[in-house]
Amino acid sequence: MYYLVEKATEYANLAVAADRKGDYEKAIKYYRAAIDLFSKYLKLYPDNSMADFYRGLIRKYRVRVRTLEQTLNRVSIGGDRGRSEEIELYVFNRGGNGPRFKDLVDLDDVKRALRRAVIYPIRSPHLYPLGWPRGILLFGPPGCGKTLISIALANEVGAIMINISPATIMSKWLGEAEKNVARIFKKAREMASKNRPVILFIDEVDALFQEYSDEIGGEKRVRNQFLMEMDGLKAKEDYKLPLFVIGATNKPWKLDIGFIRRFDKRIYVPPPDREVRKKLFEHYISRLSKTYDVSGVDIERLADMTENYSSDDIFKIVREVQSNLAEEYNEKNGDGGRRVISTEDFIEVIKMRKPSIDPQMIENYRVWNEKYGAQ
Ligand SMILES: Nc1ncnc2c1ncn2[C@@H]1O[C@H](COP(=O)(O)OP(=O)(O)OP(=O)(O)O)[C@@H](O)[C@H]1O
Ligand SMILES: [Mg+2]
């Protein structure tokens, strides 16, 4: 029965990895699977020498699942055959505490495009007798703010954000995935018709339909349903609903033309240039200034050194410096007063870390943007 523990550990690792990535929906699923298997094992071997350790883990995972569930309010969508068929959607709605546009450094063109495409239509629908675009695609290199700006957008307009992922539309019932797509859109229309803005968010939209490729015809059915639903939003009775579909991808060239066409707005989320990198360093370093003396850090130099680093890389560099200092503090048992952070502290970390943006990719985005970009 040891395989129970092995399997449980495997799920726990997947859960922690998903949790770190911010994919909370998946994290919850895997934590639950791990809890389930550890509990089964404990039932069989309650006196095992590791039992207390496993009990501790179960408690820890339960607390984490609860916290995550509170972050992502749950919305259930009923199937036609009652409860057993319900799928659960996790909805981001942090009651106004989440990130807003002002919390994102720069990305001014993207913010402007999203104001035009989403915020103004929601605020003043009477100014749009022709309706407004429904589908918005954000594309660009990894770690440069596509997901974060989508969440911030939802917070700007107080929208409910429904996260559509393979996990949400995958179903135990073969051939039901396309029905789940239909249900999600139905629920979204329902919520939007009560005047609550709704954003259907599809992260990594290029990967969404690949999940079905091993089911004969499945991928195509889900995809077609999706395209149909998007077309449906233009129908007469729905064209004024505050309902948007936002897709994010770092591989826009993987999308086929039918798909691309449904996203009327296709907005490039670029990597940070030197000026923006400087602002990102200022932004994150300023948060350290309460705890440390950061006045001597040469931010110009850091910006020069970080060509091809993404916004996420820069955040992680600053966070790593913070970890190094905390380690130092703990090892010295906290003597020495307020530590001065030097430019060297950063350079050390930057040298250990490779940039995540490949300049060739940037050229590919430029070409794709020229062909398909539409603000
Ligand atoms: N404009 C920004 N201002 C401040 N921080 C940012 C900005 N853009 C990105 N970041 C930092 O980078 C992290 C990653 O950003 P995000 O997840 O939005 O990237 P992404 O474009 O969705 O990447 P991927 O394509 O890998 O999904 C954020 O959590 C944040 O810490
Ligand atoms: Mg993302």
pLDDT (tens digit per residue) in 60-98:
999 888 877 766 655 555 444 434 444 555 555 545 567
Ligand 1, closest atom to CA 272? Answer: 1
With beta carbons less than 8 A apart as the criterion, state whether 39 and 54 touch: no
- Quick one: pLDDT band at residue 329, thresholds 50, 70, 90? confident
Please name the CATH architecture into which domain 2-72 falls: Up-down Bundle (1.20)
pLDDT attached to residue 25: 79
Helix axes of 24-44 and 51-71: crossing angle, nearest 10 degrees:
150
CA of 335 to the centre of ligand 2 (A): 40
CA distance 219 to 252: 18
Give yes or no for residue 175 having a pLDDT over 90.
Answer: no
Segments making up each domain of the chain, as ranges: 2-72, 80-269+365-372, 274-356
DSSP characters for 49-113?
Answer: TTHHHHHHHHHHHHHHHHHHHHHEEEEEEEETTEEEEEEEEEEE--TT-S--GGGS-S-HHHHHH
* Pocket flag, ligand 1, residue 141 (CB < 6 Å): no
Which of the residue ranges 26-40, 88-102, 155-169, 189-203 has the most confident prediction, judged by mean pLDDT? 26-40
Q: Specify the higher pLDDT residue, 166 or 191.
A: 191
The average pLDDT across 236-252 equals: 88
Convert 297-353 into a string of H (helix), E (strand) and C (coil): CCHHHHHHHCCCCCHHHHHHHHHHHHHHHHHHHHHCCCCCCCCECCHHHHHHHHHCC
Residue in 276, 244, 262 with CA at minimum distance from that of residue 113: 244
Neighbour order of strands in the sheet with 135-139: 72-79, 82-92, 160-163, 198-202, 243-249, 135-139, 265-268
pLDDT attached to residue 80: 42
pLDDT (tens digit per residue) in 346-364:
999 999 999 999 999 999 9
Q: By percentage, how much of the chain surpasses pLDDT 70?
A: 85
CA of 149 to the centre of ligand 1 (A): 8
The helix/strand/coil state of 296 is: coil
Task: Look at the block and give the residue holding tokens 């959607």.
Answer: 89
Looking at this protein, which amino acid is placed at residue 346? F
With beta carbons less than 8 A apart as the criterion, state whether 172 and 192 touch: no
- Quick one: pLDDT band at residue 214, thresholds 50, 70, 90? low
CA of 213 to the centre of ligand 1 (A): 29
With beta carbons less than 8 A apart as the criterion, state whether 156 and 259 touch: no
- From the CB of residue 9, how many other CB atoms can be counted at a distance below 10 Å? 15
Mean per-residue pLDDT over the chain, rounded: 86
Please name the CATH architecture into which domain 274-356 falls: Orthogonal Bundle (1.10)
CA of 313 to the centre of ligand 1 (A): 9
Beta bridge partners of 89: 75
CATH 3.40.50.300 for domain 80-269+365-372:
yes
pLDDT (tens digit per residue) in 218-231:
677 788 888 999 98
* Pocket flag, ligand 1, residue 317 (CB < 6 Å): no
CA distance 372 to 366: 10
CA distance 102 to 96: 13
Write out the E strands in 123-220.
Answer: 135-139, 160-163, 198-202
* Pocket flag, ligand 1, residue 144 (CB < 6 Å): yes
Which ligand is located closest to the Cα atom of residue 140? 1
pLDDT attached to residue 91: 56
The average pLDDT across 205-212 equals: 70
Record the tokens describing residue 125, joined without a space: 């629908």
pLDDT attached to residue 78: 47
* Pocket flag, ligand 1, residue 249 (CB < 6 Å): no
In total, the chain counts a number of residues equal to 375
Ligand 1, closest atom to CA 204? Answer: 27
* Pocket flag, ligand 1, residue 120 (CB < 6 Å): no
Residue 374: its H or E element: none
Pocket test for ligand 1, best of 24, 315, 320 (most atoms within 8 A of CB): 315
Residue 175: its H or E element: none
Q: By alpha-carbon position, which residue is closest to atom 11 of ligand 1?
A: 312
Residue in 372, 325, 371 with CA at minimum distance from that of residue 345: 325
Residue in 340, 339, 341, 343 with CA at minimum distance from that of residue 299: 343
- Quick one: pLDDT band at residue 187, thresholds 50, 70, 90? confident
Beta bridge partners of 139: 249, 268
Residue in 249, 324, 246, 313 with CA at minimum distance from that of residue 288: 324
Q: By alpha-carbon position, which residue is closest to atom 28 of ligand 1?
A: 312
pTM of the model: 0.78
CA-based angle 265:270:272, to the nearest 5? Answer: 155
- From the CB of residue 59, how many other CB atoms can be counted at a distance below 10 Å? 11
* Pocket flag, ligand 1, residue 89 (CB < 6 Å): no
The average pLDDT across 128-150 equals: 93
Q: Specify the higher pLDDT residue, 70 or 162.
A: 162
